[in-house]
Amino acid sequence: MAQNAQDVIVAGTGAVWVAPEGTTLPVDLAAPPSPWTDVGFISEDGTQFTFDREQEEVNAWQVATPIRVLVTNEPISIAFELIQFDRLTVQLAFRGGTFTGAAAPYTYQPPDAGASDVRALTIDAVDGDSTFRFTFPRVQLSESVEFSLLRSDAVRLPLTFSVLAASEKWSIISDHDAFGLAAAAMEAETTKTAKAAA
């Protein structure tokens, strides 16, 4: 593949959206409709993705190298730090719960111990006029949430979600030319190969 500076992506800004499990995933780059909700400001560290692979080697007596490698798990995790402290972010951090009170003071109560809060998740990464939208049909908070109350910084809620199995795969939607050109090149190569085989 040729070197192309235009294909170097810098996620200068973006957004994180959440919705209840089962919500239809976006299929374009328009702002997701209700019940999708923007979680607000994310820390300057942005969003971190981890695509892991756990493998088991099968070894044999006769050779010193593995004769086969079995893929046992392919976990995906997504981490970001919320710096707004409101109804939505508190419920995300504590896996649900309820707010009461029609006027101040308002009261938050966490869910029962062991509660799960499965959500759909969409993350937008914006580079100039181009957007890369990552959509995940099912995620669940999977790590500890630690935060501090300080006079020198905002309250920060670091969240890590694990991607759960779903009937629909996760996806990336983009209007960047790199995706279009790559698809066109692949299609041309496939056509060329098919003609050569005929």
CA neighbor of 160 nearest in space, from 75, 92, 77: 77
Q: Which residues contact 180 (CB under 8 A, 6 or more apart)?
A: none
Cα 61 from Cα 125, distance rounded (Å): 50
Q: What is the pLDDT of residue 194?
A: 60
* pLDDT value for 181: 72
Cα–Cα distances (Å) from 35 to 14, 22, 193, in that order, read 19, 11, 45
CB neighbour burial string for 119-149, b if at least 16 within 10 angstroms, e if fewer: bbbbbbbbbeebbbbbbbbbbebeeeeeeee
Domain residue ranges of the chain, discontinuous segments joined by +: 9-197
Per residue of the chain (198 residues), give pLDDT as tens: 678 888 899 999 999 999 999 999 999 999 999 999 999 999 999 999 999 999 999 999 999 999 999 999 999 999 999 999 999 999 999 999 999 999 999 999 999 998 999 999 999 999 999 999 999 999 999 999 999 999 999 999 999 999 999 999 999 999 998 888 765 666 666 666 666 666
Report pLDDT for 4. 82
Topology given in CATH for the domain delimited by 9-197: Factor Xa Inhibitor (4.10.410)
Helix or strand (DSSP H, E) at 127: strand 118-127
In this structure, the number of other CB atoms found within 10 A of the CB of residue 156 comes to: 15
Would you give the DSSP letter of residue 113? T
CA separation for the pair 116, 101 (Å, rounded): 24
Yes or no: say if 60 and 147 are a contact pair by the CB < 8 Å rule.
Answer: no
